[in-house]
Amino acid sequence: MGWVEAFGYFKRNKWWALLIGVINLVGIVYGFYYYGQQFAVTPWYWWLFVPDSPLAVLWAELALVAYWIGKPQRWLDALAFVGNVQVGLWTVYVLLAFAGDFHTLDFLNGGPLALNTVLLVGHAGMAALALIFVEDLRKDRRVVVDFSAVGRKTVYAKFLEHATGNATSDGLN
């Protein structure tokens, strides 16, 4: 069994799937709470572009539910994959590159465990979560079209965040 099949196992096994689903729901709820102040100052018609992390995990949750009920949607798998890789790896990079500013690794020197340390682990988990979609995405050559559409959506969302001044002030977007 290769790594692709190994990650696919977590989606197929009902107990792992349930655990992943619960963890995702906790992350989604906290993520929307985290962005609460930004929602308050953002016009409602831009809200879709505000919560990138919880939205990426929501796409993954929806893709997993579609898979579990026997109606997988490759476009949703592609959206979940791209969103979780992009947001997960970007946030991990920022939290490590600016660890001193974010106090991400202070616990290694006897300091307190910072919220950003927990966010680091959670966002690394998002990148790992994306890998459970690879097995099925590789089976369908039409997925290139889905990746193209998702890529355009991601670039458009990032443009809107910065062009409209709605990028978060913490630098995690």
Q: What is the pLDDT of residues 64-115, one digit of tens each?
A: 999 999 999 888 998 899 899 999 999 999 999 999 999 999 999 999 999 9
- State residue 33's pLDDT score: 95
Q: Which two tokens stand for residue 74?
A: 């490759």
CA atoms of 108 and 142, how far apart (whole Å): 46
Task: Give the start-to-end residue ranges of the domains of the chain.
Answer: 3-163
Question: Average pLDDT of 39-58?
Answer: 90
Global model pTM greater than 0.75: yes
Share of the chain above pLDDT 70, in %: 81
Whole-number pLDDT of residue 20: 94
Round to whole Å and give the CA distance between 30 and 8. Answer: 26
Mean of pLDDT over the chain: 85
Cβ–Cβ < 8 Å for 160, 166: yes
> Residue 103 — left, alpha, or beta (φ > 0 → left; ψ -120 to 50 → alpha)?
left
pLDDT of amino acid 138: 81
